[in-house]
Amino acid sequence: MDALQKALDQLDQATAAVRLAVQDLANPPAGEAAGNAAHALSGGAVDPFVFQLAIFMLAIFVGYYVVWSVTPALHTPLMAVTNAISSVIVVGALLAVGISASGLAAGFGFVALVLVSVNIFGGFLVTQRMLAMYKKKEK
């Protein structure tokens, strides 16, 4: 009976943790909060969407110049690390599938999960082929 009570207590703790996670999803993310802050500080002159779009465009330019400034010998490790970082999207897709209350969010989360899985697998496959080019061929 003691084991049953212990299991019920753990179930209650897990339920409370899931409720807290769902409540945290209601809080706006940092990008949205920054966009809302810019909107409030400018008296409504800067739309939050435009602010977030500007940050996205800056990230594109910074990423472009960072990648092209890497020497060709380091492209393979850069691809591997970039592929590993992009796998963080899997966490978001799993959250969308697991916690969402609507079927539409779960569907998009599942599609994102499938596409990201293909991206990760393909990225590591390309990295493996690039590394194979540097191996000495046996005669």
Q: What is the tens place of the pLDDT at every residue in 102-120?
A: 778 778 878 888 888 888 8
**Which pair of structure tokens corresponds to residue 55?**
């940050």
Q: What is the tens place of the pLDDT at every residue in 48-57?
A: 788 889 889 9
Q: Domain boundary residue among 69, 89, 121? A: 69
Q: Domain boundary residue among 27, 49, 69? A: 69
Angstrom distance (rounded) from CA 110 to CA 96: 8
Q: Please count the structural domains in the chain.
A: 2
Q: What is the tens place of the pLDDT at every residue in 73-94?
A: 777 777 777 777 777 777 777 7
Block residue for tokens 């179930």: 11
Q: Domain boundary residue among 30, 51, 69? A: 69
> What is the model's pTM?
0.45
Range of the domain at 109: 71-139
Co-location of 56 and 96 in the same domain = no
Co-location of 1 and 60 in the same domain = yes
Block residue for tokens 């753990």: 10
